[in-house]
Structure 1
Amino acid sequence: MTTHASRLPVPPGRTRTVPPALHEFAYWLHRYRRTWRGTVVLNVANPLLFLTGIGAGLGTLVNHHNSAALGGLSYLAFLTPGLLAASAMQTAYIDSAHPVHQSVQAKGHYWAASATPMSPVDIYYGHLLFNVFKVTLSATAFTAVAAAFGAVDALRAPLVVVATLLVGAAFAAPSAAWAVTAKRQPTVLAVLRFGVMPMFMFSGTFFPLSQLPGWLQPVVQATPLWHGVELCRTAALGTGTAAGTAVHVGYLAVLAVVGLLLGRRTYQRHLHS
């Protein structure tokens, strides 16, 4: 196990030049060095399979029979931004909830980190920064593949990555804040199965919201992923209004900030010395 710096006092007259949270980030980055090659392959292979099989394959049938429901867009152009947002949500939750839950268990990494000069908040911020870093890598790879397919305009690709990054932060911050309090692994899995996956399927990723029953549409519009999908679609296609975009950005930003504030409290409560 990689160890953190021992609990040594800072000499008089000297101050730390590196924020403590970056030490936690460095720990997770060091662990990632063992698996990054496989992650890169998945980050390229997954969008290739989705965009080829669903976007291009199934998209041919959708374009032929129901293109009007997509507002004149090809199914590939409609699907790609939604998949980016949904993938960011899934990556953020899985990479936040599961490692956090494991790290806070008996003999987990967090307890070793707590024996260093880092505070629980430093541990939270450092781990969260690493998770957002992974979402950024995944989003960049996905967007690059999408641009190669012609599904995303290369000039709009940076905006798409930024939008996807906001989606990832909006899910990663509250997921970690909650996961540190989870008592059992099945609880973490249950949230994935009955919370994350239904949002993945029914938040406008694969089909327009208008295809859902009227009573269900307001429910979907209240979910964070719907706002993420709409924001990514606006960034990729240039659609949407300034007011609508502001609502999506505000919703996701508030969710991220609330997650940060909750994480400060939950980490301090569960990792206090």
Structure 2
Amino acid sequence: MTAGAYVFEYYLVNYRRTWRASALSTLVMPLLTMVGFGLGVGAYVTGGVAGVPYLDWIVPGLIASTAVQTAIGESLWPVFGNFEWLKVYFAQAAAPLRVADILGGHLAYMLFRIVVSAAVFLGVGVLFGAVGSWWAPLAVPVAALAGLAVAAPTVAYSATVGSESYLPILLRFAVLPMSLFSGVFFPVESLPVLLRWVAWLLPLWHGVELCRDAMLGRAPGLIGLWHAIYLLAWCVLGWRLAHSRFRRRLVI
């Protein structure tokens, strides 16, 4: 068992004590979103999108978006708090653990939380009859990849800022626009050309497209490979940035 696995186990032990607090929201939010957008808005979208019923079309985007939002939630205040309030990272560094172990263990826990939220959302989609392809379970690892692509650079951001007042800024000016303009609720082709390019640069759009391919049973082709490579690039770059920031703060 590697040292990073022990760090991951530490977070799992804590989660075992607190999972009830998040379990309700993990289940209720997909239900409310499915009813509000999938059924409510979908009732006015006659003919669906590209011949696909709106509920079936929107659920893959919601799974990817939920994964990204879970990733953001786990990589902002928890990371900042481990540096500034609880000093968990400093205690782990004194254990001693390598920076890669500390960072990797926490990212592994974030990935676990992302997978749980995506799997629950997929299950709710099945209950609503919005899943019609045997390839649909692949949406969970795809959503996990998209979530990790966002979590890693966000961890670097949280490890850099000196005040918690900077954390909501990321939510307002990065996460919210990304959720709205990444093809979750409507095709990006309906956006002006400039905003389309912005959407194409965002990691969430790539995750949405891959999730939609999986859940609709479409072959992603070479563009699917590009989506995966792009998300992996975000993961690698985010890891390098986060590792650099952790090392600067933890290694004396």
Say whether 1:55 aligns with 2:38: yes
Normalising by structure 1, what TM-score? Answer: 0.88
In structure 2, distance between residues paired with 1:106 and 1:205: 35
Q: Displaced runs of 4+ in structure 1, greater than 6 A?
A: none
Are the counterparts in 2 of residues 147 and 157 from structure 1 also a CA contact under 8 Å? no
Call closer, same or farther: CA 1:236–1:154 in 2, change over 3 Å. closer
Hey, what does 1:215 align to over in structure 2?
194
Say whether 1:29 aligns with 2:12: yes
Call closer, same or farther: CA 1:107–1:148 in 2, change over 3 Å. closer
In structure 1, distance between residues paired with 2:85 and 2:137: 42
Q: Shift of the alpha carbon at 1:106? A: 5.3
Normalising by structure 2, what TM-score? Answer: 0.95
Larger Rg: 1
5+ residue gaps, structure 1, are 1-17
Hey, what does 2:249 align to over in structure 1?
270
Structure 2 counterpart of 1:161, from 136, 140, 160 = 140
Moved more, 44-53 or 130-139: 44-53
In structure 2, distance between residues paired with 1:117 and 1:79: 46
Call closer, same or farther: CA 1:107–1:87 in 2, change over 3 Å. closer
In structure 2, distance between residues paired with 1:87 and 1:195: 15
Are the counterparts in 1 of residues 136 and 216 from structure 2 also a CA contact under 8 Å? no
Q: Report the secondary structure of 2:46's partner residue.
A: helix
Structure 2 counterpart of 1:188, from 159, 162, 167 = 167
In structure 2, distance between residues paired with 1:210 and 1:154: 25
Q: Report the secondary structure of 1:88's partner residue.
A: helix
In structure 1, distance between residues paired with 2:88 and 2:103: 12
Hey, what does 2:112 align to over in structure 1?
133
More helix by share: 2
In structure 1, distance between residues paired with 2:220 and 2:203: 18
Structure 2 counterpart of 1:84, from 59, 63, 70 = 63
Hey, what does 2:93 align to over in structure 1?
114
In structure 1, distance between residues paired with 2:25 and 2:50: 31
Hey, what does 2:131 align to over in structure 1?
152
Q: Shift of the alpha carbon at 1:263? A: 2.0
